[in-house]
Amino acid sequence: MDKTTRVMVEFGKKKRTVGVAFDWPGWDRSGKSEEDALRVLAVYRPRYARVAALAGLAEEFGATGEFAVVARQAGIGMTDYYGVSGTWAEPEQEQMSEAACERKIALLRASWATFDAVAARVPPELRKGPRGGGRERGEIVRHANGAEIYEFAPKVGVRVPLETRESPDQLRDYREAFCAGIREFNARGAVAGSVGKWPVQFLIRRCAWHMLDHAWEMEDRDLSGGS
């Protein structure tokens, strides 16, 4: 059985390339070239393994093998500016089976759990960047949850007040509604454009990436050394 890890490589116009393991939502990393992006993706394998374990997929992830680049395509401005994938691979336009949808929802939930756990563990003040910049923990939490509520969830018809991010109970209920929206839209057929121009699989991946990117940022900037 083929255990290679399917990867899409997305090229920015100037300076960045993103490697995307699109069967594993959130495992996207960028570099200066295809080779560099794949190298960074490999470096993050142990960190993503913890996410897969939270989703109950430790054995499946542990069996993943070498990267197999199955798609190469041009990115968008955000590819260069943020090092984030802004396009979807052709397989991500397909409607998922119910089981496949639940698998990716489990990985999205694990990304939320990872983000919440890191936010609870790191101190409020984080290490500054080389130029003295960077959000503090509270700002990152508000940004990550707010972007999802404002930008991502409405693509599957889930609209809640931005203030939802301030209440753990309301945030939990919102996430349940988001998962229900994903299931509903996938059941209709996840063709391109059906969710505000984003296929359902890409929506899941983008949300998981955003949560994990900020979770790993907080870990890397943890002044306490606890991460």
Q: Do domains 5-87 and 94-220 have the same CATH topology?
A: no
pLDDT value at 167 more than 60:
yes
**The 5-11 sheet, strands edge to edge:** 28-31, 17-20, 5-11, 67-74
- In this prediction the pTM is 0.94
Calculate mean pLDDT across residues 200-219.
Answer: 97
Contact 193, 99 (CB under 8 A): no
Q: Is the dihedral of CA 89, 153, 181, 141 positive or negative?
A: positive
pLDDT value at 223 more than 50:
yes
Predicted confidence (pLDDT) per residue in 86-107, tens digit = 999 999 999 999 999 999 999 9
Q: Domain extents for the chain?
A: 5-87, 94-220
Contact 150, 122 (CB under 8 A): no
- Give the C-alpha separation, 182 to 184, whole Å: 5
pLDDT value at 196 more than 90:
no
pLDDT value at 72 more than 60:
yes
In eight-state DSSP terms, residue 168 is H
CATH class (in words) of the domain with range 94-220: mainly alpha
pLDDT value at 132 more than 70:
no
| pLDDT score of 192 | 43
Instruction: Give percent above pLDDT 70 in the chain.
Output: 94
CATH class (in words) of the domain with range 5-87: alpha beta
Tell me if residue 78 falls in helix, strand or coil.
Answer: helix
| pLDDT score of 227 | 66
| pLDDT score of 14 | 85
Q: 82: pLDDT confidence band, cut at 50, 70 and 90?
A: confident
